[in-house]
Structure 1
Amino acid sequence: MYHRQRGAVSLMWLIATGVIALLSLGFAFLSQQAFSKERDAKDTARQQAQTKETQRQEINDKALEITRVVGFAGTEAGSLSNADTIKGKLQDLASQFPSLSSPVNLQEALNGVSTDYNGATTQIRNLTADVERLTNELASAQAAYNQSLSEKDGQIRDLTGQLEDARNRAANDVAALERTRDALRVQVRDQQNAVTEMRALKDEAERQANAEKQTLVQRNNILSDRLNSVSRSADTADGAVLAVSGELMKGWMDLGQVDRIRAGMVFQVRNTRNNALKGEVRVVQVEEKTSQFEIISQADRFDPIAEEDALFNDLYDGTRELVAVLLGDGFGKYSEDDVKALLSQVGIRVQSDVTREVDYLVLGTPFFDEDTGELLPWDNQEAYKAATSNSVQIVPFRDAMAWLGL
């Protein structure tokens, strides 16, 4: 019985083991089925993950490629373009290009920049053409300037040559004038010697005439006393002819030292009836109240100078002191002081300014322009203008000296 019970237990254990084994196999099979499903699910998930990773990587690569083209990435490796930075740069770009009002993306920005660039290129091309045109014009102007400068240089050379020739001619003229001056000096010395001889002859002639003069002294004194008592005016005669010798061409007048008469003075002779000009005489000898004259011209030989003919001298007045003003750059061989002294000898006072009391304006050597060497007209001088406005008689120095015998 014991063996039967032990055999029954073993069978039970065998059955239990078998059941357990079957259960284990079933569980294992079920587990294997679940594991297979889970593994298939994991494989599917892994494949999907790999696909998404591949897609993500492709997207990332494209983003990196865009970043490399666009820029504006961060400083870290693999950083992508920053949209805010790009928007800010687009706004900055819009402020610099007229065609970009407010660009949304790079495409619009690039289109606007391209438009402005093309416009700028056209403008630059036009400006380049203008620059080339202006350069050509400048080159032409420069060439014309160089040509003009060359012509001016040629003219300057010609004028310089002409100036040098003129200087040489002037030097030759000066040398010729100096030779002429030396020759004239010799002539002057000869003339002075001739004058000395003529004076000797004149003295001899005066001695011969003294004999004739004695016969006329009495009548001359009577007429002189009568004429000196007569009141004279500017339109009356200065004196009268006392006697005249047609053969000797000499005579006597009723004016002498007391009347400030001096040798050399020239008088016009007029007919007392009709005031006709009969000739001119020059004083050759002066005595106290009378003077001897020589006839230097006679208008009509059939109406010769005769006794009681009237004598006139434009610059002489024996009744009062005359006033004169000197104007000129010199007075021949005389200085201004010399002329004043000479005029004072015949009763003419010289003052500096032309006033209403002035009788004569005596003109000496004309003035010359220091720069141009041209002769200056008398009417440019204030003294001449004043004399004209005051009706002052204007007399050349040479005529004054001739009339006054100075």
Structure 2
Amino acid sequence: MNKRSQRGAARVSAAWMIVVIVLFFVSLGFAYVANQDAETARLNAAKAEADKVTADASASVEYDLARDVSKVLGFYNRELLGSASDVTTAADGLSSLRAVINMPESVQDYEKAIQPVIDALRQKDTEISNLKTQLTNTEGRLSAAQQANQTISTELQGKISKAAQDYSDLEQQAGDEKTRLENDVAQLRSTVNQLNSDLVTEKGSIDDLQAQAQRDASAATTRAASLNRQLKILKETAGPDGEVLAVSRGLMTGWINRGAADRVSRGMVFEVRTGNPNPASQGQTKGWAEVTEVEEHRSLVRIFDEADRYDPIGARDKIFNPVFDPNGDRYAVLVGRFSGAYNGAEVRALLESVGITVQDKLDLTTNYLIVGGPVFVDADGEPSEEPIQPSELAAYQDAQAQGVYTISINDLRQYFKK
């Protein structure tokens, strides 16, 4: 019995031993598994730490990149460290830029906006450069025009001074000539008085003496009237009526130094003679000038019928018109027939426009006799079968006898255009 109990106890101890061994190996398995899990956790932790370092480095790079982009793009708070660009403000700025540059709606970012802005700035630079060039050219032309104007003003002042001196000389000459003519008239009047005295005291035939006295008196009166005519038209024979100031060869126009203040009117024509001081060239007709525009002290003229294209009309050439007088009172009588564009009323108005009063009949104040065409009525107003030439009329013959300056209607047309 006791042996049986010892075997049973041995079997129980063996079983516990097996259990303990099994548990040991199970513990070893769990320890191994736990050790593997710890290693795995440690590796995961190390990997997580590496990932964190990589993420921090990447975040730092992204931060630096964002900061650099903000510095280039702008639209960030410069007083706050690390501030990034405000996307809304940047977008608004792009919209404003698109409106100013006139970019299409397809441009939605600054990269696409750069080239249109560059193109617009280049275009503006080109426009500014062109404007600067135009400004430089304009300043150059203005400077040249001012210099030319100064030159013209200086030349004009010299011409005015010379003209004033010439006018003073002419006045002196006219005064001398007037004195001489007045002396001649006084001498002739003295002769007439002497003849009248001789007529009373002379013995012989009263009829013959009276006839001779009448003839002498008539001759003296005619001579006195002729001298008066010469005195009144002294201006026309003393010198030119003015001179050419400047000429445009391309337009065939020029300026003369006579204007509205001198009784110049549109349509008046002047004969242009050389202003060359060479005596051999004096009095040569170079062409004609018709007044087209009138200012107060100068007139624009159209140049025509130049005599020599190699010696054209130019500045300082002299102008002449036999019925032009800027100052004095003058009188004219019409004789003959006037019709068409130059009828009696038109001729009268034309003469009055240049200061010439038309008289009904010839007297001692008459300066000009304007001769028209032939008439077809006689002195009694009766129709004539043959035309009567103006030279056959009594008024014409009286004017010739008194030395009145005669101008034909053709000459008048030549000096006045309508």
With the length of structure 1 as denominator, give the TM-score of the two structures.
0.43
Q: Highest CA radius of gyration, 1 or 2?
A: 1
Task: Give the TM-score normalised by the residue count of structure 2.
Answer: 0.42
Q: Which has the higher contact order (CA 8 A, sep 6+)?
A: 2
